[in-house]
Chain A
Amino acid sequence: RKEVEQDPGPFNVPEGATVAFNCTYSNSASQSFFWYRQDCRKEPKLLMSVYSSGNEDGRFTAQLNRASQYISLLIRDSKLSDSATYLCVAYTNAGKSTFGDGTTLTVKP
């Protein structure tokens, strides 16, 4: 079993839809969590950090549930420009990072 597992996707949604991705982690030493966005054949870029108290940035909301060991990303009012692959990552305090395989989102007109 992989240490970080994501919804396999792909997700195909119409513009304006709300879509949610989940990511589970199995390493209890994981301390920090982030969501990255990766466009085709490009480097990943940070989308947002994930906190237990939740983190909202415009149309994006990230949440961490330590008890159940999962993180989530909610995108409201999807735009065509949101089409990308979304990667979750878990870090231990020792600096080791583990990425999920990514979930591909396609937003259609």
Chain B
Amino acid sequence: NAGVTQTPKFRVLKTGQSMTLLCAQDMNHEYMYWYRQDPGMGLRLIHYSVGEGTTAKGEVPDGYNVSRLKKQNFLLGLESAAPSQTSVYFCASSYSGPLEQYFGPGTRLTVT
């Protein structure tokens, strides 16, 4: 069981470039989440999904898009990266909504 994995682990982008972060889980969890964490702050919810084919906006969705075409994968896209999107991005999954979330190791993204 790999749990929750994230790809890539590190990335440096230039302003205006695009990229996709991949989150994969092998626990057959229904719910998946994308968060960002800035220095000295907690986790802020970007988007989440309550099942395959569904997505919903979180607290800070602007500048990001997501897709959940397969139950085990949740993709986070940045269409035109900005320096304000420099952050650590965590993906998480849970069996259902208000239950324990299992987190991936994070992706450290720098936008210059």
Contact = CB atoms under 8 A, between A and B. Distances in A.
Q: How large is the interface on A (under 10, 10 to 19, 20 to 34, 35 or more residues)?
A: 20 to 34
Chain A interface main SS type: strand
Contact of A99 (B44, B96, B104): B44
Nearest to A33: B98
Given A43-B105, A44-B103, A99 B56 contact: no
Given A95-B48, A99-B43, A99-B44, A43 B104 contact: yes
Interface stretch (A13-21, A52-60, A64-72, A86-94): A86-94
B108 to A, nearest CB: 9
Contacts of B100: 34, 46, 49
A31 B97 CA distance: 10
A96 interface: yes
A22 B40 CA distance: 18
Given A91-B98, A95-B50, A95-B98, A44 B90 contact: yes
Interface in B23-46: 31, 33, 35, 40-45
Nearest to A43: B103
Q: Which 7 A-B pairs have the closest CB atoms?
A: A32-B98, A95-B97, A91-B98, A43-B103, A101-B42, A99-B43, A99-B42
